[in-house]
Amino acid sequence: MPRPLRSRALAALALVIPAVLLGAPAAHADPISQTSGFYVNPYSSPAAWAAANPGDGRAAAIRTAIAQKPMASWFGNWSGDIAGAVGSYVGAADAADKLPLLVAYNIPGRDACGGHSGGGAGSVAAYDAWITSFAAAIGNRPAVVVLEPDSLGDFSCMNQNQINERLGMLSRAIGQFRSRTPHTWVYLDAGNPGWIDAGTMAQRLNAAGVSGARGFALNVSNYFTTGENVTFGNRLAGELRRYGYTKPFVVDTSRNGNGANGQWCNPAGRRIGTPTQMGGGAEMLLWLKTPGESDGNCGVGGGSSAGQFLPEVAYKMIHGY
């Protein structure tokens, strides 16, 4: 479980000082010190499954090892009224004095290379309006947002006009969070150690306006070990110095307990990793992907759709087989 975070003045100070040195927006207050820990969503897919299947022999393990851990909630074109969906989620966390983790996943042409999570907003204008509403719904409340997984890794499956449009959308999105969410830290997705080299990714991050975000996120929905991600993240932070600044990073540890086996779409034999916490080699280790939620109709999730909760996959991920 995460350590209690309120009344830890020294820890809060340790976070604020690097924020200035690393080029994070000084106007954005530290959301960590404003809350008493990370938010656990009582309506997550594993929590809902465990509640609906109390007699299942896997339910207790899934409830304890997964559902009761802080995880991100993902928002996209399935979320309906985005202002209402985000506002309700962040409001529930705020009422509990907890810090919510959110993933914005609605960029047009989403998952261009993988394909299993394709979709997103129907146009550039639609996305701009959607992300503006997303940011406005958070408002002054504390939050952590990971912005658009895969968005900077998919360039090989896009033409130059699509790339230019995407960079513009990401840059404007970061601008909306800067102006509308003074107590939110935003991390722009930067792929994983096995995808795009650090120099190229730094160039893309810079072009997408990461200078205006808190930092970048690694390993979202992937399996590389925390150590591999920390090494890559430090290299990537160093590459950003070519543009006159550097940034902290967070790592998705939700499914990296056994590392990667060269596959990304529901590979067998993976295991949950270190639960959400501060530090651990990065600014934060976060459960961004929900363990047990399918990557698509592939691997051990054959016959499923992306985002569908698979209790047998979740159960095996607890034990690493």
Crossing angle of helices 226-240/198-207, nearest 10°? 60
**Is position 111 annotated as part of the catalytic site?**
no
DSSP calls for 220-276: TT----HHHHHHHHHHHHHHHGGGT----EEEE-TTBTT---S--SS-TT-B--SPS
Is 228 annotated to bind a ligand? Reply is: no
Helix residue spans in the chain (DSSP H) = 9-21, 45-52, 59-62, 82-95, 124-138, 160-180, 198-207, 226-240, 311-319
Burial class of residue 248 (count of CB atoms within 10 Å of its CB; 0-12, 13-18, 19+): buried
**The residue to which tokens 């047998």 are assigned:** 312
Upper half-sphere CA count for residue 249 (Cβ side, 13 Å): 28
Catalytic residue among 30, 111, 189, 295: 295
Catalytic residue among 150, 154, 189, 252: 150
Is 222 annotated to bind a ligand? Reply is: yes
CA angle in degrees (0–180, nearest 5) for 189-190-193 = 135
Is 195 annotated to bind a ligand? Reply is: yes
Phi and psi torsions of 189, nearest 5°: -60, 135
Give the strand pairing for 277-278 and 284-286. Answer: antiparallel
C-alpha–C-alpha distance, residues 93 and 147, integer Å: 19
Asked whether the beta carbons of 65 and 33 are under 8 A apart, the reply is no
- Sign, CA dihedral 54-88-90-167, equals positive
**Is position 295 annotated as part of the catalytic site?**
yes
Binding site residue list for substrate: 74, 195, 222, 264, 289, 293
* Positions marked catalytic: 150, 295
Binding-site residues, in ranges, read 74, 195, 222, 264, 289, 293
